[in-house]
Amino acid sequence: MTTHLVWFRADLRVHDNYALAAACNNREACVKALFIATPGQWKKHAMAPRQAAFLAAHLNALQRALAEKGIPLIYREVDDFAASVDTVAAVCAEEKVSHLFYNYQYEVNERQRDAAVEKALPDVACQGFNDSVMLAPGSVVTGNHEMYKVFTPYKNAFLRRLKEELPVCVGAPDVRAGGALNGALATLTFDYPQEEFDSTLFAADEKTAIQRLRFFCQQHAAAYEQQRDFPAIEGTSRLSACLAAGVLSPRQCLHRLLAEQPDALNGGSGAVWLNELIWREFYRHLMTFHPDLCKYRPFIPWTDNVKWNDQPEQLRAWEEGRTGYPIVDAAMRQLNRTGWMHNRLRMIVASFLVKDLLLDWRLGERYFMTQLIDGDLAANNGGWQWAASTGTDAAPYFRIFNPTTQGERFDTEGVFIRQWIPELAAVPGKAIHDPWTWADKRGISLNYPRPIVDHKQARAATLAAYEAARKP
């Protein structure tokens, strides 16, 4: 009997999984699944312990879902991607595999691993799929067949493609001829630090993720444009962790959004959330064209000449939420406590690290990865390079957020700040954004640090550093 092997990586779902669907197309084939944990590689990539726990939960949920389809999941643990090449080859030999199916990953190390696997399996038909995107990298390019460097024309070209033809969603496979697998399943885990995540905030299985996608598109997508910038409001989808682990596909998000908000493609209700999905594609496509983005390199070469400060104490204050700027500190405490941060706040804290403290953006990028439950190299790198003015379509280097006015604008009454900085609970109303001015006028001492930098002076120093770096 022909044996098909589906190699799962960052695609832990049975619905709309291109590799799984292709493997199951042949009703006569024996279909098996494989997952290889690589803790050493994850450590090099700074995977957050909460993301590891999220991955473990969904790996076990996937094992159950596959068993219901009559597909056993083979589990292996090795140190890194290099070792996984030999493991895939060994499993293929043991199981007499004729066809290997997997979904592409676009990062450099992952692409090198996949190339090595194909080379190691000359007698196995290997087939990969562009599954983690709506449109394949290279399919949205300029008239000169180059990757767009600016988001807006890319988005317009992307929308034109979607209007011509929507990407196809494929259903979950039918139960295999032998029926569902009976018997208890071993609990899968791996030798990597794990930290419990809040399943009320982040779906712990595929069925729940699909339900939350449907609920968001029905109840919140229309108001997303008005609510998304205010961290005290639950106005975002919180589905980023599911997208990063491949528990949901971007095509599922697109089709569900259009089912509930049919005018989203034409700029109507739901269009702003669709825009966020397209940003995700933009950064993924960029990474395939510019692999140096995976190697801590800036997109704009001259920005590597910026003379960054070396202030480990300031870096620690930023990481721990002790900068003396309430909106920054509340955001960092949210990240450290939950493994997630509201998108507006990601921009604010990144701007503060780079433009107020003049610390290398790569320090922030890596710290985020050590904490984020939704850690995704392309999106995280894209966001940090945008904030640092080092990337494609980045904020101009002279655009510098004022952290105090950002707090006043997006958390006017300090509701979010008080949630995460209880030591400021007694500071009334809008005074919370500049609490020491309020406290000093009243002779009150606060159990909260004073600002570690003066924003006006820091802004001037940053502008000077960037302007010096631009000089030939």
Please report, in range form, the residues annotated as the binding site for FAD. Answer: 224, 236-240, 273, 276-283, 374-376
Annotated binding residues: 224, 236-240, 273, 276-283, 374-376
Active site residue 361: yes
Please confirm, yes or no, whether 276 is among the known catalytic residues: yes
Q: Is 370 left (phi over 0), alpha (psi -120 to 50) or beta?
A: alpha
Considering 308, 336, 408, 413, which one is annotated as catalytic? 308
**Of 42, 279, 318, 386, which is the active-site residue?**
279
103 as an active site residue: the answer is no
Contact, 134 vs 285, CB < 8 A?
Answer: no
Set 68, 77, 95, 343: catalytic member:
343
Among residues 361, 386, 420, 438, the one annotated as catalytic is: 361
Which residue of the set 7, 42, 340, 384 is catalytic?
384
Q: Is 384 an active-site residue?
A: yes
| Residue 343 annotated as catalytic | yes
Question: In the annotation, is 336 catalytic?
Answer: no
Which residues are the active-site residues? 276, 279, 308, 343, 361, 384
